[in-house]
């Protein structure tokens, strides 16, 4: 399972199971399902800072690409 919050785009993501998915778009985000049997594989919450508690967002890690590592740090 992979979970993160990206404050740059204000999206919270939970990937329960990696693999090929079919996405269902909703007003609040996406639900990703397995195309073979329709089980839940993950979801995205758009405008997460407005829709989810701040304490939850603070507890979620940020994706590596949005963390400022500073100059010269790989």
Alpha-helix residue ranges (DSSP H) falling in 13-61: 48-51, 54-59
Asked if 44 and 11 touch (Cβ cutoff 8 Å), the reply is yes
Write down the domain spans for the chain: 2-64
How many Cβ atoms are within 10 Å of 41's Cβ, its own excluded?
20
Q: What pTM does this model have?
A: 0.81
**Digitized pLDDT (tens) for each residue of the chain, 74 residues in all:** 999 999 999 999 999 999 999 999 999 999 999 999 999 999 999 999 999 999 999 999 999 864 444 444 44
Q: Is the dihedral of CA 38, 32, 29, 59 positive or negative?
A: positive
Asked if 13 and 69 touch (Cβ cutoff 8 Å), the reply is no
């Amino acid at each position: 399972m992979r979970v993160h919050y990206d404050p740059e785009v204000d999206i919270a993501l939970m990937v329960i199971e990696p693999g090929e998915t079919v996405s269902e778009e909703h007003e609040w985000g996406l639900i990703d399902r397995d195309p073979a049997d329709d089980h839940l594989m993950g979801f995205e919450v758009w405008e997460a800072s407005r829709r989810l508690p701040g304490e939850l967002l603070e507890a979620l890690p940020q994706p590596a690409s949005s963390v400022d590592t500073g100059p010269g740090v790989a």
